[in-house]
Structure 1
Amino acid sequence: MRANKDYINLDPSFWGYIRFIGDKMGYSSRKEGILTYSKDQIIKCLSKYDLEIDSAMLEKVVQYLNYRKQVLMNFVEPHLMDLEEAESNFYDLKNNILSSGKKFISPQPMNKQKGEKKKPAFFTCAINLLTEQAINDFNSENNTNITCDYDPHNLTFLTEDDNPKLLKDTYSRRFDGAIPSLNTPVAIWEIKEYYYTTTFGSRIADGVYETQLDGYEVRNTVGSKPIHSFLIDGYTTWWGMGKSYLCRIIDTLHMGLVNEVIFGKEIYEEWPKEVKKFCELQNKR
Structure 2
Amino acid sequence: MQAESKFLKQPQEFWANVKLISQKVGYTNRGFGTIKVPSIQDIESAYDKLGLDSSKIVLNNKITAIGSLLIEYFQFRADFLTNHIEPNLQNLTQAKALYTKLKAELNPTCPEPLNKQKGEKQGPAYFTSIINMLIEANSKGYDCNYDPKELSAFTHNNFPIRSLSRRVDGSFPNVINPIALWEIK
TM-score, normalised by the number of residues in structure 1:
0.50
Residue 45 of structure 1 pairs with residue 44 of structure 2: yes
| More deviation, 48-57/123-132 | 48-57
Quick check: 1:152 aligned with 2:152? Answer: no
Q: Does 2:73 match 1:64?
A: yes
- Point out the structure with the larger helix share: 1
Displacement after TM superposition at 1:89 (Å): 1.8
Q: 1:83 to 1:28 in 2, by over 3 A?
A: closer
The residue aligned with 1:174 is 167
Q: CA deviation at 1:72?
A: 1.6
Contiguous gaps of at least 5 residues in structure 1: 98-102, 137-144, 192-231, 233-285
Percentage identity across paired residues of the two chains:
33
Partner AA of 1:60 in structure 2: L
Q: Which has the larger radius of gyration?
A: 2
When normalised by structure 2's length, the TM-score is: 0.72
Question: Residue 87 in 1 paired to residue 93 in 2?
Answer: no
Secondary structure class of the residue paired with 2:166: coil
Q: In 2, distance between residues paired with 1:114 and 1:50?
A: 44
The change in CA–CA distance for 1:170 and 1:110 in structure 2 (over 3 A counts) is same
Q: Please state if 1:122 is matched with 2:131.
A: no
* Secondary structure in structure 2 of the residue aligned to 1:36: coil
Structure 2 regions of 5+ residues with no counterpart? 58-62
**Equivalent pair of 2:44/2:54 in contact (CA under 8 Å):** no
CA distance in 2, matches of 1:55, 1:116: 52
AA partner of residue 151 (structure 2): L
1:106: which partner in 2?
A: 110
Cα distance change of structure 1 residues 8 and 131 upon mapping to structure 2, 3 Å threshold? farther
Query: Displacement, 1:73?
Result: 0.8
Q: What is the deviation of 1:35?
A: 2.9
- Residue by residue, what CA displacement relative to the aligned partner does 1:175-225 show, whole Å, maximum 9, x if unpaired? 11112211111221111xxxxxxxxxxxxxxxxxxxxxxxxxxxxxxxxxx
Q: CA deviation at 1:129?
A: 1.0
- How many Å separate the matches in 2 of 1:110 and 1:91? 14
CA positional deviation for 1:3: 5.7
Bigger relative contact order (CA 8 A; separation at least 6): 1
Rounded Cα–Cα distance in structure 2 between residues aligned with 1:155 and 1:26: 30
| Counterpart Cα distance in 2 of 1:112 and 1:167 | 35
Q: CA RMSD in A?
A: 3.3
SS of 1:95 mapped into structure 2? helix
- Equivalence for 1:17: 17
Secondary structure at the aligned position of 2:146 is classed as coil
**1:216-258 Cα deviation digits (max 9, x unpaired):** xxxxxxxxxxxxxxxx3xxxxxxxxxxxxxxxxxxxxxxxxxx
Deviation at 1:120, TM superposition (A): 1.8
